[in-house]
A and B are shown apart, each in its own frame.
Chain A
Amino acid sequence: MKILMVTPYPPLRDGIASYAVQTVMSLRAQGHEVTVLSPGPSAAHMHLNLVGARGAAALAKRVGGYDRVIVQFHPDFFYPIGAPAKERAMISAALTAAFRVATYVEVRLHEIDYRTGRGLSPAAVATRLMWSQVDEIVVHSEGERDDFIAAFRVKPERVVLTDHGEDFQRYTSVDKAAARRTLRVPADAKVFLSIGFIQPHKGFDRAVTAFGELATADARLYVVGSLRVDEPGFKAYLETLREQIEHTPGTELREGYVSDELFDRWIVAADCLVLPYRAIWSSGVIERARLYDTPVIATDVGGLKDQAARSTDVMIVRDDAELAAAMAARLAGRTGLDAPNGVVPARVVDTSDLGRPWPAPGERFRERLQAELTARASIVRGGPLGAVDAAAPGVGPAGEPDARALVARLTPVPAFLLPSTAGTGARSYLKKVVRRLTVWESREVAHQLNLQKIGTDKMVGVLTDQVATLQARVRELESEVHAGTDTDTDTGAGADVDAGAGAGTGEPRG
């Protein structure tokens, strides 16, 4: 089969690119002829700026001649950030045309704003029309599937649930002892790990706070990763995290650009991953942990609960208290939340997941069945917890924060003000109904609040930078006054330095 894959692609360091290349590898290994088209230059065969109506029109010219077009979808690939409704409508219309030209279109959904499908505005109508042209929409959790169908009124049979880690492969073959040796991690310590791009919504500060409450000498928490983008708010968050870790014994920040191999080596080295996300759609980290049977503690956001149900040892926690208790339980060698301090409510086993359908026949059927039955066994053993009742409150680190740090600590508002429930009783049923009826309004409010937070992040960052620049300039002027000089240092000093290096000493570079 001739397949066109539209996606960000390596060597771009990006979660969707990493996901896509593993899918490409799998498809090629099955004998398909796969051509990759990426939004920018990469290892793909073609690249094309896909943003805007012109990008969609250009895409339309390239989809012909393929038996299947697979699009790894994130709205930013196609819609300019902040584009007005009219422009969005035009882009959706252009994408509709592109999808209509293609023989068969599969869209793998990585993120989308469900509000774009709501109402009778031209933009919403165009968006729904666009999705109606997609033959298969692949999502990674039941929640996404339900929400997508409701938002875009797509026929349910077109929306397919796929295992996030379906095509994931191992990038390391070391064992735990070797991994720890190479990473300079104590061989006999109990090791918790929070790994990934460092961003406020990843909530790594929550793991540090929880770890700080454990008061144990033989455990470690490593936070591993780097900033993905140089947003002021993200930088401030990293700075705050650094301070917090500095003041929390047993924790360590391993800051840096983590390769796929190193990422996996850390997972092998860890006894337990801690993923206290404040917001996420689905987690590639959980899937990679699954490859190595490394236990995970994660918060109940996005589709993580669905992912947990497919994994052998993922514990979903509701809040910071449960997070601390879960880490304490791990330290004590238990997988449940029956922590000795009694701060945690009784464990809830979400048996409703046992009622879901088994995987349908298809590719790697046995493997998926095996994973499913393992996951179900995990549920019966009490791995994943049930419904959540409250949004996880943000917990800021100790210390005197600056303005940026304060803003960075504002917890993003959860998309659902009324949390989801998987219970089966009358109360749960009522909650489901209310949630379904109010979901759009609550998401709108949450979205606006989070936008305001991001805007505040940026504004405070810019102002802080400007203040720092002014302060530095004041210090320079003060030192010049003290030195009794009235030279214009901006030009004079630079000229002197250049002359010294080039003509004075003739010192070679390096």
Chain B
Amino acid sequence: MSGEIDRRGTLAFVPARFGDEVIGGAEIVLKQMALGLQARGWTVEILTTAALDHHHWENVFPTGTSEEGGLTVRRFPTVNEPIAERGELEGRIMRGEPVTLSEQQRWMNAGMRVPELYDYILDNKYAYRGLVFTPYPFWVTFACSQIAPERSVLWTCLHDEPYAYLDLFQPVFTGSAGLFFQTDPEYDLARRICSNLAPNAIVGCGVEVPEVYDPHGFRARYDIDSPFLLYAGRREGGKNWEQMLEWFAAAYERAPFDLKLVTMGSGDVNPPESIRHLVIDVGFLPDHERDNAFAAAAGYVQSSIYEAFSRTIMEAWLAGTPVIANAGSDVVSWHCERSDAGLTYRDAAEFEQCLRFLADDPAGAAALGARGRDYVLAHYRWETVLDAVEAKLVEWLPAPADVPEPTPVGGHPAVVDPADPAAVTETAGV
């Protein structure tokens, strides 16, 4: 297939944050995709902010252009002025109260903004064959994807959350060159939210397949001598971390079981006193050690309901580890049903039973988890996903006859549209 693809022109990937230290599914996927496409012969750049943290958006990384991990990265400073009204508006949005369009606009602009990135894309939009944005709710995607919508593609990362239903985002969903979805449920959600989606395709999401695992070594290095449930990612309310801890404690208090809770990632742990001795935080791990942790676990818990794909359950399944997941996430429930390798829970009681299953029947749990690997390999190898992504990129983003070079950050261009906009793009259909 690669021989048929016209890969001329530069692709810009535009996440709100980027870097090895950034924890976030969308950001990680975008980086892997950028590297994968670059390996296939595309010229790829990253346009992003200098921020590491998505709560305060402080400028941590140096601004300007640099080479990071084999990619050209252009970083721009964030502006994050505290505006009191934002908190009040955010509360109303999260409670599902009516919020007028003008209030939605004020809410969006009252948070983190990146005017210099906006200017850069304004100046250099014709220097890029396409700009790929993710995730949808951040100012960077909202504002910058509308500068050149005809060459902007959105990796949606859409969750069933209050933000998604705001009128504010309709232009992003309707007015882009294309939308990438990762799963059928994500696409179904998009259709429920928006009756007139831009051209789109479900392309899945790539997952790296580790060559070897070292579960025994992991246990030894962290001195873990009993079965454990693993949690990976950001420990925060939006991921239902606290609720899961409480339910874990409640289950243990009712009747103790031989199962610890190991967590890796970022955020405060704060376990209830009754299970403090059961909770082990191994912190932020390098990729190979993450893989080992997945292989060593008796089960992996996905407590979040705001999932557009959930890479971590794929990582668990690749390691042969069963998944227990919050049924509130249509996406994860869909994965569990399709793979036959995961359990879902709807409340504390169901969660408790999941824990007991893992603790009481390790062989059964292992058998459940074993089905997951085939599922991931069949659907979510990077090669398969990149084939689909490339096919849509060339369909939605016509190859330019000639393109000027992007200007350095802070430079001033003299750029005019070099491409004849007469080329036709069509609905991908799904």
Chain A residues near B (Cβ < 8 Å): 10-13, 21, 24-25, 28-31, 33, 36, 40-45, 169-175, 178, 181-184, 226-230, 254, 256-263, 265, 505-510
Q: Could you mark each residue 147-170 of chain B with 1 if its beta carbon is under 8 Å from any beta carbon of chain A, else 0?
A: 111100000000011000001101
Specify which chain B residues have a CB less than 8 angstroms from the CB of A184 in the assembled complex.
196
Top 4 A-B pairs, shortest CB-CB distance:
A259-B175, A259-B171, A261-B175, A261-B149
Specify which chain B residues have a CB less than 8 angstroms from the CB of A44 in the assembled complex.
115
For the complex with contacts A178-B424, A508-B326, 19 further pairs of A-B residues with Cβ separation under 8 Å are: A11-B146, A12-B109, A13-B101, A25-B123, A29-B416, A41-B83, A41-B113, A43-B115, A43-B119, A43-B143, A172-B149, A175-B424, A182-B426, A258-B171, A258-B174, A259-B146, A261-B174, A262-B175, A509-B328
Cα distance, A175 to B328, chains bound together (Å): 41
Contact with A13, one of B105, B346, B398, B424 (Cβ below 8 angstroms): B105
Q: Are B415 and A29 in contact (CB under 8 A)?
A: yes
7 cross-chain CB contacts under 8 A: A10-B143, A11-B105, A11-B142, A12-B105, A259-B171, A260-B171, A261-B149
Cα distance, A40 to B426, chains bound together (Å): 38
Q: Are B305 and A259 in contact (CB under 8 A)?
A: no
| B198 interfacial by beta-carbon distance below 8 Å | yes
Cα distance, A45 to B77, chains bound together (Å): 12
Q: A43-B113, A178-B425, A256-B170 are in contact. Are A262 and B196 (CB under 8 A)?
A: yes
| B243 interfacial by beta-carbon distance below 8 Å | yes
Q: Are B348 and A506 in contact (CB under 8 A)?
A: yes
> 8 Å CB contacts to A: which residues of B59-92?
81, 83
Q: A11-B108, A510-B328 are in contact. Are A262 and B171 (CB under 8 A)?
A: yes
Cα distance, A409 to B156, chains bound together (Å): 42
Specify which chain A residues have a CB less than 8 angstroms from the CB of B168 in the assembled complex.
257
Specify which chain B residues have a CB less than 8 angstroms from the CB of A230 in the assembled complex.
100
- Give how many A-B residue pairs fall within 8 Å (CB-CB): 155
| B28 interfacial by beta-carbon distance below 8 Å | no
Specify which chain B residues have a CB less than 8 angstroms from the CB of A183 in the assembled complex.
196
Specify which chain A residues have a CB less than 8 angstroms from the CB of B150 in the assembled complex.
170-173, 261
Cα distance, A30 to B199, chains bound together (Å): 33
Specify which chain A residues have a CB less than 8 angstroms from the CB of B415 in the assembled complex.
29
Chain B residues near A (Cβ < 8 Å): 81, 83, 100-102, 105-106, 108-110, 113, 115, 118-119, 122-123, 139, 142-143, 146-150, 160-161, 167-168, 170-172, 174-177, 195-196, 198-199, 240, 243, 305-306, 326, 328-329, 346-348, 398, 412-417, 421-427
Cα distance, A433 to B273, chains bound together (Å): 90
Q: A43-B115, A510-B328 are in contact. Are A260 and B424 (CB under 8 A)?
A: no
Contact with B122, one of A21, A33, A257, A259 (Cβ below 8 angstroms): A21
Q: A31-B414, A41-B110, A173-B425 are in contact. Are A256 and B105 (CB under 8 A)?
A: no
Question: Closest CB-CB distance, B238 to chain A, in whole Å?
Answer: 10
Cα distance, A408 to B243, chains bound together (Å): 51
Specify which chain B residues have a CB less than 8 angstroms from the CB of A10 in the assembled complex.
118, 143, 146-147
Specify which chain A residues have a CB less than 8 angstroms from the CB of B110 in the assembled complex.
41
Cα distance, A10 to B105, chains bound together (Å): 10
Q: Are B412 and A31 in contact (CB under 8 A)?
A: yes
Q: Are A182 and B427 in contact (CB under 8 A)?
A: yes
Q: A29-B123, A508-B240 are in contact. Are A11 and B109 (CB under 8 A)?
A: yes
Q: Are B143 and A257 in contact (CB under 8 A)?
A: no
Cα distance, A10 to B175, chains bound together (Å): 15
Of chain A, the residue at the smallest CB distance from B161 is A510
Cα distance, A99 to B367, chains bound together (Å): 77
Cα distance, A104 to B403, chains bound together (Å): 36
Specify which chain A residues have a CB less than 8 angstroms from the CB of B198 in the assembled complex.
182, 261-262
Of chain A, the residue at the smallest CB distance from B398 is A173
Question: Closest CB-CB distance, A28 to chain B, in whole Å?
Answer: 5
Contact with A256, one of B172, B196, B306, B412 (Cβ below 8 angstroms): B196
Question: Closest CB-CB distance, B153 to chain A, in whole Å?
Answer: 12
Specify which chain B residues have a CB less than 8 angstroms from the CB of A41 in the assembled complex.
81, 83, 109-110, 113
Question: Closest CB-CB distance, B353 to chain A, in whole Å?
Answer: 14
Question: Closest CB-CB distance, A465 to chain B, in whole Å?
Answer: 13
Q: A226-B101, A505-B347 are in contact. Are A254 and B196 (CB under 8 A)?
A: yes
Specify which chain A residues have a CB less than 8 angstroms from the CB of B113 in the assembled complex.
41-43
Q: Are A256 and B427 in contact (CB under 8 A)?
A: no
Q: A257-B168, A261-B175 are in contact. Are A171 and B160 (CB under 8 A)?
A: no
Q: A230-B100, A505-B347 are in contact. Are A259 and B172 (CB under 8 A)?
A: yes
Q: Are A510 and B414 in contact (CB under 8 A)?
A: no
Cα distance, A185 to B64, chains bound together (Å): 46
Residue of A24, A260, A507 with most partner-chain B CB within 10 A: A260
